[in-house]
Amino acid sequence: MDNISWHVIGDQIIQTTTLKPGGGGIQDVYEVPYEIDSGPARGHSGKVTIAAAAFNPQTVKEAIAAQIGAVHDVAGLTS
C-alpha cells in the first residue's frame, strides 16, 4: 500500500528462535513491529516475523505492506 504511511518500531525488533513450519526443527527469526500512520487503520500496531536468513529491508517491507493491505481494507469497511 504505497499511499498508506507506516513505520517500523526499531527499538522493539527482536531476534528469537521458533519451530519451523510443520515442526521440522527450529529456526532463528526476527519479529519486526510496525505502526500504521495514516488511513482508516491509523494507530494500528502489528508485527511480521521474518526468517533470519531472509532478514533484509526489502523482505521486511514486502511483508509489512502485505499485512497492512489487509488491515487497511478491513478498517475501511462500512455498512
pLDDT digits (tens, 9 = 90+) for 9-48: 999 999 999 998 888 899 999 999 999 999 889 999 999 9
- Tell whether 46 is covered by a domain: yes
Cβ proximity of 29 and 50 under 8 Å: yes
Cβ proximity of 71 and 6 under 8 Å: no
The residues that bridge with 6 in the sheet, in sequence order, are 36
- Domain of residue 69 covers 6-75
> What pLDDT digit, counting tens, does each position of 42-65 carry?
999 999 999 999 999 999 999 999
Question: From CA 75, how far away is CA 39, in angstroms rounded?
Answer: 9
Question: From CA 42, how far away is CA 15, in angstroms rounded?
Answer: 26
- Tell whether 1 is covered by a domain: no
Cell numbers linked to 31: 519479529
- Tell whether 19 is covered by a domain: yes
- Tell whether 30 is covered by a domain: yes
Cβ proximity of 28 and 15 under 8 Å: yes
- Tell whether 11 is covered by a domain: yes
- Tell whether 26 is covered by a domain: yes
* Count: domains in the chain: 1
pTM equals: 0.85
Cell numbers linked to 6: 507506516
